[in-house]
Amino acid sequence: MTQPTVTLAGGTNIPMVGLGTWPMDDAEARRVVRQAIEIGYRHVDTAENYANERGVGDGIRDSGLDRSEVWVTTKFNRRWHADPAAGLRGNLERLGLDYVDLALIHWPNPDQDRYVQAWQGLIELREQGLARAIGTSNFKPAHLGRLIAETGVAPEVNQIECHPYLDRAAERAYHAEHGIVTAAWSPLGRNNGLLQEPLIVELAARYGVTPGQVVLAWDVLQGMVTVPKSSNPERLRQNLDVFDIPLTAADVAALTSLESPGLVPADSDVFGH
């Protein structure tokens, strides 16, 4: 089954909708990853920090699909910034894979000032074929600017919290300027009020879809990768079926201009693991 993809700077094609796996444990991840692949997902998002990489790897193997057919993104924690090769080796061992499709530095952790070292390591790991693509997560433009200035290489992806309440316009503009694809985490706002927003409910009724699908259509229409989490088969199906929703440019703009009810993104200058 083919899925709409975005071509990254290094030439690989990442499926635009991936399965978010936080906060699944190994057993749940194993079951849901297999189910999601049967439904048609070809992209799974995990991390060392989610403590479910073993379940993700098992779910992929249980699906019977060739490993090369599934895009696997993972991330490593702050303690590996000084030794990213060891960090990625741990990811691969837990996943039971020879390579990942996308390896990310999970948070910049500027307090330890080693994220440039981590990035240099990822560049080498990509050359060695252990990661087909490399990137960052929760990096601010200032952090990205430093990576580019000191290594000459921009991340292929920066995964950040992004949804209509936190539309991250400045960050997305910076990414676009530097050929970095934005991947949206918590794209449904964790179903914590966003999906009850009157405009979103109204657009869902107008287009005969669910509020979650409206929000994910807002992602993909703008060229973002998105990793909604669901453990429910019906919602898994809905979240993948977002490519033919004819939101207009005015709808997209109206969604973008929704006011956040006091939400602010985690400050990655002070928070990170």
Ligand X SMILES: NC(=O)c1ccc[n+]([C@@H]2O[C@H](COP(=O)([O-])OP(=O)(O)OC[C@H]3O[C@@H](n4cnc5c(N)ncnc54)[C@H](OP(=O)(O)O)[C@@H]3O)[C@@H](O)[C@H]2O)c1
Task: Give catalytic residues, as residue numbers.
Answer: 50
How far apart are CB 72 and ligand X at their closest, in Å?
A: 12
Separation CA 28–CA 37 (nearest Å): 14
Asked if 210 touches ligand X (CB under 6 A), the answer is yes
Residue 20 interacting with ligand X (CB under 6 A): yes
Site string for ligand X, 26-45 (x = CB under 6 A): -------------------x
Check residue 59 for interaction with ligand X (CB under 6 A). no
What span, in angstroms and rounded, lies between the C-alpha atoms of 231 and 222?
26
Residue with smaller CB distance to ligand X, 159 or 182 = 159
Give the range of 3-11, 63-71, 169-177, 222-230 binding ligand X by CB under 6 A: 222-230
Among 231, 237, 258, 260, binds ligand X (CB under 6 A): 231
Whose tokens are 């999970």? That residue is: 106
* DSSP codes, 183-206: EEESTTGGGSSGGG-HHHHHHHHH
What count of other Cβ atoms lies within 10 Å of the Cβ of residue 50? 21
**Residue 260 makes contact with ligand X by CB under 6 A:** no
Output the smallest distance, CB 145 to ligand X, in A. Answer: 20
109 binds ligand X (CB under 6 A): no
Q: How far is 222 from 243, CA to CA, in rounded Å?
A: 11
- Distance CA(154)–CA(217), nearest Å, equals 27
Q: Which is nearer to ligand X, 128 or 261 (CB)?
A: 261
Binding flag, residue 273, ligand X (CB under 6 A): no
Residue 19 bridge partners (DSSP): 44
Quote the longest CA-to-CA distance of the chain.
51
Number of residues interacting with ligand X: please give it, by CB under 6 A. 26
Cα separation, 194 vs 215, in Å, equals 9
In whole angstroms, the minimum distance from the beta carbon of 159 to ligand X comes to: 5
With CB under 6 A as the contact rule, the residue among 30, 76, 230, 251 that binds ligand X is 230
Cβ 215 to ligand X shortest distance, Å? 8
CB of 57: closest distance to ligand X in angstroms? 15
63/158 with CB nearer ligand X: 158
Q: Tell me the CA distances in angstroms from 33 to 14, 67, 102, 241, 259, one per residue in order.
A: 17, 13, 17, 17, 34
Per-residue contact flags (x/-) with ligand X for residues 116 to 155, judged by CB under 6 A: ---------------------xx-----------------
232 binds ligand X (CB under 6 A): yes
> What are the strands, taking DSSP E only, across 115-199?
131-137, 157-161, 181-185
| Spatial separation of the C-alpha atoms in residues 220 and 224, rounded to whole Å | 5
Kindly give the pairing relationship between strand 5-7 and strand 13-15: antiparallel
Site for ligand X in 163-192 (CB under 6 A): 185-191
Name the residues that contact ligand X, by CB under 6 A: 20-22, 45, 137-138, 159, 185-191, 195, 210, 212, 227-232, 235, 238-239
